Structure 1
Amino acid sequence: MIEIVIGLMLLGIISVAIIPALWQGYLLSAEQSATATATRELNSRIEQVRMNPTCAAVTTAVATGSQTLRGIGGDLMTVTGSASSCPASDMKVTLDLIAADADGATLARASAIVYVP
């Protein structure tokens, strides 16, 4: 009988010792999920401009940059952007996009050069 009590006590101690590691893993997973969502959104906007390389597409990608998105974990993020003048004399436009969380911390940043004929 004493072996069962000692075994249960050891199992309880080990279970309590593992809880901080599990919680840290959960928090890290949520953070990485938000970063992945932000990166995917920025890359999607750049690819939309590359599929339709016009000044209107560049303006749309940057103008809708203040759109607020909800990530997988339910966190809000805001995407902002800027672009060099379009049409440029050398026919290339530089896009700079930034995704930030609700606190203003940068989650992802993407820059691209797009050929606009």
Structure 2
Amino acid sequence: PDGWTMPVCEIATKVGDAYRYFWEPQGEGEGFGFDGVLLESAPPRRAVTTEHMTGTDYPSTTNEMTLTPVTGGTLLSIVITYPSAEVRDMVLATGMTDGMEMSYARLEAEVLGGA
């Protein structure tokens, strides 16, 4: 989102590869990141990964991302499978969905701004 940078963006390109992302605030505060492994890949339309919040003992999730062509663009869908409803509720209480929405809006602006 605005006010944050992403100094670490290590992408997995083959099944079994690890990835790592890390964000830092431009002002005060702590950064956060995620790491995981690419489990399935069907470029350019689908990827399944594990995801773990770096520096925590939270259990990993399994994330399925699909990209579907639609009129005027691409529909991005992400299904996150949590190990339990309790973990899901804990994560949702952090405001994670707001941060994701802001990040995707920023990405869209960057991509369309370069078009």
Give me the TM-score of the superposition, normalised by structure 2. 0.31
Give me the TM-score of the superposition, normalised by structure 1. 0.31
Larger relative helix fraction: 1
- Structure of higher CA gyration radius: 1
Higher relative contact order (CA 8 A, sep 6+): 1
Larger relative strand fraction: 2
